[in-house]
Structure 1
């Protein structure tokens, strides 16, 4: 009976069990960067309403830069997780689908009335579909190793940066806002198509993993020159980068087709072409 009715001891202090284990900061840091990028995207929507178009554009550009940092930081700290991948995708949709589309709407697409709003909806939905496809492809175990160097379609951050080309042109003196609404609308539809297409875009994930010793100093000088030009002439440089990026897509497609033919020829008939790693277009970017 003593087991059923233990004596009451008011002086006895029961030790409380910890309900949750402490989380290492390395798992939190990438998520903090993702949330900062999300705040910048939402702030861009407020700034464009207040008429601060240039500042709103810069906010989205910084959010795109942070989106490239959080995944690499997570892999460096070994803090990748499924939660981080989902949070990153949601942040990308808001920043590069909703916020970018809204900035473009306030900038010039509102001149097209309902058709302009349809273009904004198309861009946002294309970003959502592209990110959903990316999340599915993360779990694909049958992608060969060489395919990790290519994105399937234009990635969301690059889609936002290229979609804002009319803004860069406006800031350097081209009167896009006065006369270019129809052309901007067609251009945004073209970018939306690239994001949901299966056109391979070079990712450059293995670019620079091994650099010849005699090229180190020239690379340092080139980085300094590009950084200086970017600070001195930001929107001119961004416009050139976007044009160069779009021009290199056919080169990327040709390279992808060549590697695909070589891979098909190297794999014996009837044997699945399983790569050594489940390389989707990106590794889950963060914790």
Structure 2
């Protein structure tokens, strides 16, 4: 039997098997933040099944904060990647599409039975379509630079947070019994339509890249004040933020149209070939 499998010495000149290159931590850190946000979204679904709507809403709010952080961390560390972009889109669909739809269904839409479930489905699917459109528009090479200040339609985190406005009001003392379910249904359907619409909304992505030195300390104080308000009065703050955001949408759309008209009226630079005499 030993003759069938004789021992042998490995060839010292044989090339070593190729190993994968190590991945730098700056590429991993943003994806870890995205995964933490995804865990919060999935936990929010579990809490909604258990009837714990207050911590479920807070989990979605924190997931939205982490969603705003991961992209900025990736750009700051120069750790952007195609993998991270795809993971972020999948996490956004769960956190801001599936989770809010199930929370709202368990909170009020279940009173309307199948009709309420259909609206929950519409909200979740609207988020999927909005994210697919966003990913497709990233590859548009002819998109003007100023359009990066605007989203096409309501972004997914904003749509999820504003859709849960009835839940915030409920925890401030406004009762949402079975009679209020049709109102919640119409409101959620309106948010879903805003998500898939072509209404431009201000993104604020390019805001704050350079801060004047005189504004640094006031910004610190304002940040501490806002953080304290959200910790002490979370649902009051979310009602105020959701209301202000919805009220600002017409102003952002008007600003977008004004900048679009200015872009069309701007003179087109002459081609160098046009300056060559014939």
Q: When the two structures are superposed, what TM-score results if normalisation uses the length of structure 1?
A: 0.87
Give the 3 Å change call, closer, same or farther, for CA 267–81 of structure 1 in structure 2.
farther
**Aligned residue number for residue 85 of structure 2:** 85
Q: Which residue of 2 aligns with 1:188?
A: 188
Task: Say whether the 8 Å CA contact 1:107–1:177 is kept in structure 2.
Answer: no
Does the 8 Å contact 2:51/2:106 carry over to 1? Answer: no
Contact 1:201 1:249 (C-alpha < 8 Å) held by counterparts: yes
**Structure 2 residues without counterparts, runs of 5 or longer:** 1-6, 272-278
Measured in 2, the distance between the counterparts of 1:267 and 1:105 equals 52
Contact 1:163 1:188 in 2 (8 A): yes
Q: CA deviation at 1:209?
A: 2.5
Distance, in Å, in 2 between the alignment partners of 1:212 and 1:91 is 35
Query: Cα–Cα, structure 1 residues 51 and 215, in superposed 2: closer, same or farther, change >3 Å?
Result: same
Structure 1, unpaired ranges of 5+:
1-7, 272-287
Aligned length: 264
Q: Distance in 2 between matches of 1:19 and 1:35?
A: 26
Give 1:58 shift.
1.0
Q: 1:258 to 1:47 in 2, by over 3 A?
A: same
Q: Is residue 148 from structure 1 mapped to residue 161 from structure 2 by the alignment?
A: no
Deviations 1:199-253 (A, max 9, x none): 1110112222233333333322222222111111110010000000000001101
Q: CA-to-partner distance for each residue in 1:119-140, whole Å, 9 max, x for gaps?
A: 0010011000000001100100
Q: Are the counterparts in 2 of residues 170 and 176 from structure 1 also a CA contact under 8 Å?
A: yes
> What's 2:164 paired with?
164
Q: Which has the larger radius of gyration?
A: 2
Name the SS of the counterpart of 1:33 in structure 2.
helix
Distance in 2 (CA, whole Å) between partners of 1:180 and 1:48 is 19
Match status 1:103 vs 2:107: no
Distance 1:211 1:78 in 2: 21
Q: Secondary structure at the match of 2:204?
A: coil
For residue 70 of structure 2, what is the aligned residue in structure 1? 70
Query: Which residue is 1:203 aligned to?
Result: 203
Matches within 5 A, 1:1-150: 10=9, 12-13=11-12, 14=14, 16-150=16-150
The residue aligned with 2:176 is: 176
Q: 1:88-125 deviations in whole A, cap 9, x for unaligned?
A: 10111111111110011001100011110010010011
* 1:256-275 equivalence runs, <5 A: 256-268=256-268
Say what the alpha-carbon RMSD is for the aligned residues.
Answer: 1.8
SS at match of 2:201: strand
Secondary structure of the residue aligned to 1:180 is helix
2:239 alignment partner in structure 1: 239
Q: Distance in 1 between matches of 2:212 and 2:86?
A: 37
Residues 170 and 177, structure 1, Cα contact 8 Å, conserved in 2: no
Deviation digits for residues 20-67 of structure 1 (CA, Å, limit 9, x no counterpart): 111111111111111111111111111111121111111111111111
Distance 1:28 1:81 in 2: 10
- 1:283 maps to what in 2? none
Does the Cα contact within 8 Å between 1:123 and 1:189 map onto a contact in 2?
yes
1:269-284 correspondence runs (5 A): none
What SS does the aligned partner of 1:151 have? Answer: strand
Higher relative contact order (CA 8 A, sep 6+): 1
TM-score (norm 2): 0.90
| Counterpart for residue 285 of structure 1 | none
1:152-196 Cα distance to aligned partner (Å, 9 max, x none): 111101110011101100011111245321111000011001111
